[in-house]
A = this chain, B = another copy of it.
Amino acid sequence: MSLLVIGSVAFDAIETPFGKTDKIIGGAATYISISSSYFSKEVALVAVVGEDFPQSKIDFLNSKGVDTTGLQIKEGEKSFFWSGRYHNDMNSRDTLVTELNVLENFDPIIPQEHSSPEFVMLGNLTPQVQQTVLNRLSNKPRLVVMDTMNFWMDIALEDLKKTISMVDVLTINDEEARQLSGEYSLIKASRKIMAMGPKFLIIKKGEHGALLFHQDEVFFAPALPLEEVFDPTGAGDTFAGGFIGYLAKTEDVSFENMKRAIIYGSVMASFCVEKFGTERIENLTQAEIDARAAQFMALSQVDLKIVERG
């Protein structure tokens, strides 16, 4: 089924304990599109770049089956640029540079042929822009998934809450869930956040996995313990892309199927962190994805016999 992806398409420069990159392509929508393209063949992108963005990278997205009709290229302007440095534990980072550039006045124009998507993934962006996208759709989508971050909780909380009230699934990390709800217990936090509108909540815990909440149900998906996390940039977006890509492919938005989708999201994220930027997820094979999904199953599945005391 058709999937519309909105978010940043950008340049990143990344430093980790393992090395540093020059400007490489990044941005939430880039990771989401690439990741979801392994599941759905109907991925369309709405985003904006400057004239500095290489045509070869757009060609690459097209080669993955991503429709870039909705990717605006602004003459005489520059693409969004982010630069960051990860600390030794890879769980925290410092932002070195943020240049909004074309994102400053991003007006998300949705091509006519993509204005009735069945699935929508709102990658991290100004809540106002995310909202505009939803308001410009011709039909109510079957499922809207929204990613966001603490930055918008700090500077645009009311806008953010309004947008959250319009979506079906919200994905945030554990610290953000605590900030948004004012609750330390993730169970209590999940209830408060679902009361804001979303019927489903995904709390991402990085190396500790992810939780899916829906009504009184909880599902926990582990993260694969890795030899080495090389670069965490884009892992959350890659997770979201695998998640919604799987749902769009299987056309099933039940809780049970979302559990599977979260495993595939985690599978895609586990590849992402193995190399810098999008490098590792650019050319995966179906066999690699299936093999890693099998690893996730081995990691967490158990046949439990309930024993009698005696």
- Enumerate chain A interface residues (CB-CB to B < 8 A): 38-39, 41, 88-89, 184-188, 205, 208-209, 211, 217-222, 225-229, 246, 249-250, 256, 259-260, 263, 286, 290, 293-294, 296-310
Contact B306 A293 (CB under 8 A): yes
Q: Give the residue of B211, B222, B250 whose beta carbon is less than 8 angstroms from that of A307.
A: B250
Ordered by A's residue number, 9 sampled pairs between the chains whose C-beta atoms are within 8 Å are: A39-B307, A39-B309, A41-B309, A185-B228, A185-B229, A209-B209, A220-B222, A256-B303, A260-B304
Copies of this protein chain in the complex: 2
Q: Contacts A208-B205, A309-B38; is A218 near B187 (CB within 8 Å)? A: no
Contact A225 B205 (CB under 8 A): no
Q: Give the residue of B259, B299, B308 whose beta carbon is less than 8 angstroms from that of A220.
A: B299
Contact B225 A222 (CB under 8 A): no
C-alpha gap A218/B286 in the complex (Å) = 23
Shortest beta-carbon distance, A43 to chain B, in Å? 12
Contact A225 B186 (CB under 8 A): yes
Contact A187 B307 (CB under 8 A): no
Q: Contacts A184-B88, A249-B307; is A209 near B227 (CB within 8 Å)? A: no
Contact A218 B225 (CB under 8 A): yes
A246 — which chain B residues lie within 8 A by C-beta? Answer: 307
